Structure 1
Amino acid sequence: MDKIFDLDSILLKLNKKDNSTYFLDFLHNESFEVGVLRLDPGQKDTQGPHSDDELYFVLEGKGYINILEEDHEIRKGSCIFVPSNSKHHFHGNKERLVVLYILNISKK
């Protein structure tokens, strides 16, 4: 199993996916699911609530995340905690938004 991951390589893999695919998991074990989400301006984030707690870290861009019907401004360097089963989505980015996500799946 890889222990070191290169963001540029992960984003290249994501670029090779069809246009509707905007996220890519690159690590999945018994404790975590980790990936990158990339939204271009105007691209819709269609994710639903997750059954696990989730942590997001904005690597590039700025915009908004809506959590439980409340908007929060985000930008490069923002760290966001979303509790399990909370409705949320990214939106309002006028430039490419790249976000690292970590789901805590160890409690299952």
Structure 2
Amino acid sequence: MRSYQDFHLDQLQADRSRSYAEFLRRPGISMGIYHIPTGGKDPQHPHDADEVYVVLGGRAVLEVEGERVEVGPGRVVSVDRGADHRFTDVDDDLSVLVVFAPPATPEA
């Protein structure tokens, strides 16, 4: 068994069959790609894990506890566990690398 995993962002971003696709899960961290189409709605709710968003493409606003943060490619935003947050005003198809630490429990 290898002691590492490697991924290609282009391939991960190309799969838009689901809005969120987790590609890595370990005891202390999970990672996935989150897609929201232009004009799409983000149904997120507060999570039991800290999150880091790395915007790979697109433009939107991330609302966190009532504050608005404009995001676009290269923007990195961390959101504390339990904080109310969601993406709004998606002006261009949004693609975000999401890091949960520790991993959130998969939703039903």
Q: How does the TM-score come out when normalised to structure 2?
A: 0.85
Query: 2:98 matched to which residue of 1?
Result: 101
3-state SS of 1:35 partner: strand
What whole-Å deviation, never above 9, does each CA across 1:85-105 have from its counterpart, x for those lacking one?
001001112111111010111
For 2:5, which of 3, 25, 29 is the aligned residue? 3
3-state SS of 1:86 partner: coil
For 2:65, which of 65, 68, 71 is the aligned residue? 68
Q: What residue identity is the alignment partner of 1:34?
A: M
Unpaired segments of 5 or more residues in structure 2?
A: 104-108
Unpaired segments of 5 or more residues in structure 1?
A: none
Q: How does 1:1-80 map to 2 (within 5 A)?
A: 3-12=5-14, 14-15=15-16, 17=17, 21-80=18-77
Q: What residue identity is the alignment partner of 2:11?
A: S
Identity %: 27
Task: Point out the structure with the larger strand share.
Answer: 2
3-state SS of 2:91 partner: coil
The total of aligned residue pairs comes to: 101
CA RMSD of aligned residues (A): 1.6
Q: How does the TM-score come out when normalised to structure 1?
A: 0.85
Query: 2:88 matched to which residue of 1?
Result: 91
3-state SS of 2:47 partner: coil
Distance in 2 of aligned mates of 1:3 and 1:9: 14
